[in-house]
Amino acid sequence: MTADPDDLPEDDPTVGPPVDWLANIRALAAKNGVQVRPQQPAFTPAPTPVSPPMPAVPTPNVGLEDLGQPVVNTQAAMTYAANALASEIGVLLGTTEGQRNHQLNVSAMKLGQLVAGGNLNEAQVRAELTQAALKIGLTPYETKQTIDSGIKKGLTEPRSPEPVYTFIAPTPPVMLPTAPVIPPVQPPASSPASEPPATADLYELQVEHDLKIELRRRDVRRRASRIESSALFTPPAFADDLAAELDEPDPDIEWTIENLHSVGGNTTITAGFKVGKTTFMMNLVRALADGTPFLGTHEVRKLDGRIAFWNHEVEAVQMRRNLREINIHKPDRVWHVPLRGHHLDLMDDAAYTWAVAEMRKREIEAWILDPFSGAFYGDENSNSDINAFTKRLDEFKREAGIADLFMPVHTGRYVEEGNERARGGAKLDDWTDNRWVLAKHADSGDRYFRAEGRRVEQEERELKFDRPTQTLTYSPFTGTRKTKATSTLQSAVLAYVTANPGCTQNQITGAITGQKADIRAVIKKLINDFDLETRSGKNNATHHFIQGSPEAMSWTG
């Protein structure tokens, strides 16, 4: 009969300190040539203090013939599973681009099978696969989705390695004291290796991933810009000092269009909505091709090369009819490129290279790019985008051998008279050498033209249109829209007062077409110029008469 350890007296000298029963089991296994290793959990627990080990209790020598029931060696299964996890991580890290997402799915499925078989911890599998996937460039979102899919499939097909058996010989009963109660080791509550990443963590990983991509793109742009700038740089020509520079003679200005556009310049044609821009540009094409005076006044130099007319706005068949009607005498000197509905972005290297080659092949000297909004694919309100595009135009001119550029631009729909400017960012007006402005009088519908720029100063003039020949020339009237309107209003006011002596200002402004403020200003001017005189009437009303008229002299109020 074996004594109950609890019945032994505490001071019994035959009873030593508590026995390390785990050590005894290891000793028994070693005695019989069987290796037993402690199992490892799927996480790394914190060290737990235990009682000091006691010497193992001697056991009798047992031969192989006395081995008892075989026991499955779980350590071998865990070792297999750990090696499988390490192997799949290694395969994933070595996968080439284009196959990485697929390999992640396969690895997650295989490891999910081992999780289902009880050989791996799912949280650890997810954590290590996630870390490896992010390292090879997969995004956090696609990583999570792929791992979820693979593990879900693997869990439906459990897999375990072939069992390895360990034989432990039976041992005679050993008097053991009550083993100390050691609580099971629990994984840390927030162990990063045992918990799948939270949604917020995945978001931060996605942001970090995208930031790296964006920073790399910016670095590429900076380096490309430096390389391009180095390739384009040529030392400028300069004199050693201002005195030497001032001694150099000034060459005469060479005009492509007299007093409006010098050779080598860039001119924008600022035009409002439906002011006749298409007709105006066709007149420019004809003047450059035939060498005839532009607007019937400005001489045009004889070009050695040809004219390219890039038409982004008018449908091809309609423009062909228009060009036929304007009757260009030398149409072979014009290359018309209908681009409406086509994407030709000069900021794109392929389009740029093609266009340079085509321009050179045709020996283009003057280029009409109609309009800016059709050729520009950036943000029209971004000065940075506009600045990059205008630099590209200058480079294009140089590489294609083009001397002169003419480019129509649109104004906004509602602009103050006399303050017309290009719609969008201010950089376009800053860049151009000359600004031509084509405008329409709000009331009469008459067209007006003015120009300003480097050594260019053309006051606003009215244009007249000859419909049979589609020709624009200057009108004999030399005033501006404002002077023309004032002159017209003066005639209308004088005619009305002559027919209605004694009329009030409200009666005049109500009867004459025009802006009331302009009409009142004309009435005041006519009074100051002694063309009209006034008399007071009932209720302090002011009555108007032609200066010195009988009606004024006989007025009694």
Coil, strand or helix: which one is 472?
strand
Instruction: Calculate the alpha carbon distances from 75 to 35, 38, 72, 166, 372 in Å.
Output: 10, 7, 9, 10, 76
- From the CB of residue 367, how many other CB atoms can be counted at a distance below 10 Å? 23
Residue among 367, 324, 375 at smallest CA distance from 346: 375
CATH tag, 255-479: 3.40.50.300
pLDDT of residue 149: 93
pLDDT band at 441 (very low <50, low <70, confident <90, very high): confident
Task: Report the Cα 492 to chain-centroid distance in Å.
Answer: 56
Instruction: Calculate the alpha carbon distances from 346 to 36, 267, 353, 434 in Å.
Output: 75, 19, 9, 22
More confident residue, 96 or 425: 96
Residue 113: CB partners within 8 Å, gap ≥ 6? Answer: 154, 155, 157, 158, 159
CATH 3.40.50.300 intervals, the chain: 255-479
Lowest mean pLDDT among 67-81, 373-387, 500-514: 67-81
Residue among 259, 72, 287 at smallest CA distance from 162: 72
Lowest mean pLDDT among 61-70, 273-282, 520-529, 543-552: 61-70
Tokens of 128: 């290590």
- Cβ–Cβ under 8 Å, residues 523 and 543: no
Domain 483-554 belongs in CATH node 1.10.10.10? yes
Instruction: Calculate the alpha carbon distances from 459 to 88, 259, 260, 273, 452 in Å.
Output: 80, 11, 11, 21, 8
Tokens 């260009």 -> residue: 328
Task: Report the Cα 39 to chain-centroid distance in Å.
Answer: 56
Cis peptide before 371 (omega within 30 of 0): yes
- From the CB of residue 530, how many other CB atoms can be counted at a distance below 10 Å? 9
The average pLDDT across 56-61 equals 52
Query: Which one-letter amino acid corresponds to residue 431?
Result: W
Judged against a pLDDT cut of 90, whether residue 411 lies above it is answered with no
pLDDT band at 15 (very low <50, low <70, confident <90, very high): very low
Tokens 């996890």 -> residue: 85
Phi and psi (nearest 5°) for 544?
-110, 140
Q: Cβ-count burial of 146 within 10 angstroms (0-12 exposed, 13-18 middle, 19+ buried)?
A: buried
Coil, strand or helix: which one is 197?
coil
| Strand-strand pairing, 447-453 and 456-466 | antiparallel
Judged against a pLDDT cut of 80, whether residue 396 lies above it is answered with yes
Helix ranges restricted to H, 425-480: 427-431
More confident residue, 386 or 59: 386
Judged against a pLDDT cut of 80, whether residue 467 lies above it is answered with yes
CATH 1.10.10.10 intervals, the chain: 483-554
pLDDT of residue 299: 96
Q: Cβ-count burial of 237 within 10 angstroms (0-12 exposed, 13-18 middle, 19+ buried)?
A: exposed
Q: Report the distance separating Cα 11 and Cα 9, nearest Å.
A: 5
Tokens 């192997």 -> residue: 87
Element (H, E) at 520: helix 516-528
Most confident of 117-131, 182-196, 230-244: 117-131
pLDDT band at 426 (very low <50, low <70, confident <90, very high): confident
More confident residue, 552 or 290: 290
pLDDT per residue as tens digits for the range 280-339 = 999 999 999 999 999 999 999 999 999 999 999 999 999 999 999 999 999 999 999 999
Task: Report the Cα 377 to chain-centroid distance in Å.
Answer: 11
Tokens of 510: 């109500």
- Cβ–Cβ under 8 Å, residues 460 and 481: yes
The average pLDDT across 475-480 equals 68
Judged against a pLDDT cut of 60, whether residue 137 lies above it is answered with yes
Lowest mean pLDDT among 1-15, 363-377, 486-500: 1-15
Tokens of 92: 């994933």
Coil, strand or helix: which one is 247?
coil
Percent of the chain with pLDDT over 70: 75
Tokens 């209720």 -> residue: 539
Q: Report the distance separating Cα 72 and Cα 118, nearest Å.
A: 14
Exposure string for 32-42, b = 16+ CB within 10 A, e = fewer:
bebebeeeeeb
pLDDT per residue as tens digits for the range 501-516 = 999 999 999 999 888 9
Judged against a pLDDT cut of 70, whether residue 373 lies above it is answered with yes
pLDDT per residue as tens digits for the range 236-249 = 888 889 998 898 88
Average pLDDT, the chain: 82
Judged against a pLDDT cut of 80, whether residue 45 lies above it is answered with no
